[in-house]
Amino acid sequence: MTAAGEAVLQVLWGASPCVNSFDRCLNISSSGVSFKFNVKYAKNKGTGYAELHNGLKSRWRVCAFHGVDRDSHGKTGCNRLKSGCCKCRRIESIDGLTVDNGRQPSFPNKSESNEPNVQDFKLDRQLKNGKAGISSNDKLNASGSITNTVHKVWAKSVEDEAWDLLRESIVYYCGNPVGTIAANDPNDSTILNYDQVFIRDFIPSGIAFLLKGEYDIVRNFILHTLQLQSWEKTMDCHSPGQGLMPASFKVRTVPLDGDDSATEEVLDPDFGEAAIGRVAPVDSGLWWIILLRAYGKCSGDLSVQERVDVQTGIKMILKLCLADGFDMFPTLLVTDGSCMIDRRMGIHGHPLEIQALFYSALLSAREMLTPEDGSADLIRALNNRLVALSFHIREYYWIDMKKLNEIYRYKTEEYSYDAVNKFNIYPDQIPPWLVEFMPHIGGYLIGNLQPAHMDFRFFSLGNLWSVVSSLATVDQSHAILDLIEAKWAELVADMPLKICYPALEGQEWRIITGSDPKNTYFPGLITMEVLGQLCSGRLVTMLTVACIKMNRVEIAEKAVKLAERHISGDKWPEYYDTKRGRFIGKQSRLYQTWSIAGYLVAKLLLDNPAAAKVLVTEEDSELVNAFSCMISASPRRRKRGRKKQTFIV
Rounded to a whole number of angstroms, the CA Rg of the chain reads 28
Mean pLDDT for the stretch of residues 196-205 = 93
CB 257 within 8 A of CB 297: no
Does the pLDDT of residue 328 top 70, yes or no? yes
pLDDT at position 311 is 95
Strands (E), 344-494: 398-400, 443-450, 453-459
- Read off the pLDDT band of 122 (50, 70, 90): very low
- Choose the weakest-confidence range: 253-267, 268-282, 408-422, 502-516: 502-516
Does the pLDDT of residue 60 top 50, yes or no? no
Torsion angle of alpha carbons 89, 95, 97, 98, nearest 10°? -20
d(CA 301, CA 316): 22
Taken in order 637, 639, 641, 643, is the CA torsion positive or negative? negative
d(CA 285, CA 203): 12
- Read off the pLDDT band of 185 (50, 70, 90): confident
Mean pLDDT for the stretch of residues 65-71 = 37
Q: Which three-class secondary structure state does DSSP give residue 488?
A: helix
Please give the mean pLDDT across all residues of the chain. Answer: 75
Q: Please write the tens of the pLDDT for every residue from 436-479.
A: 999 999 999 999 998 888 999 999 999 999 999 999 999 999 99
Mean pLDDT for the stretch of residues 210-221 = 97
| Residue 211: HSE in the Cβ half-sphere, 13 Å Cα cutoff | 27
pLDDT at position 28 is 38
pLDDT at position 72 is 40
Mean pLDDT for the stretch of residues 30-46 = 39
d(CA 273, CA 189): 23
Does the pLDDT of residue 123 top 50, yes or no? no
Q: Please write the tens of the pLDDT for every residue from 487-523.
A: 999 998 887 788 888 877 777 777 777 666 655 533 3
Task: Identify which of 63-67, 70-74, 442-446 has the greatest average pLDDT.
Answer: 442-446
Of 627 and 123, which is predicted with more confidence? 627
CA 54 to chain centre: 31
d(CA 356, CA 361): 9
If 0-12 CB within 10 Å is exposed, 13-18 middle and 19+ buried, where does residue 506 land?
exposed
Mean pLDDT for the stretch of residues 215-222 = 97
Task: Identify which of 116-120, 381-385, 535-539 has the greatest average pLDDT.
Answer: 381-385
d(CA 21, CA 365): 63
- Choose the weakest-confidence range: 267-276, 297-306, 311-320, 477-486: 267-276
219-244 b/e (C-beta count within 10 Å ≥ 16 → b): bbbbebbbebbeeebeeeeeeeeebb
Q: Please write the tens of the pLDDT for every residue from 372-402.
A: 877 888 999 999 999 999 999 999 999 999 9
Does the pLDDT of residue 5 top 70, yes or no? no
Q: Model pTM?
A: 0.74
Mean pLDDT for the stretch of residues 238-256 = 85
CB 108 within 8 A of CB 53: yes
d(CA 593, CA 167): 10
- Read off the pLDDT band of 236 (50, 70, 90): low
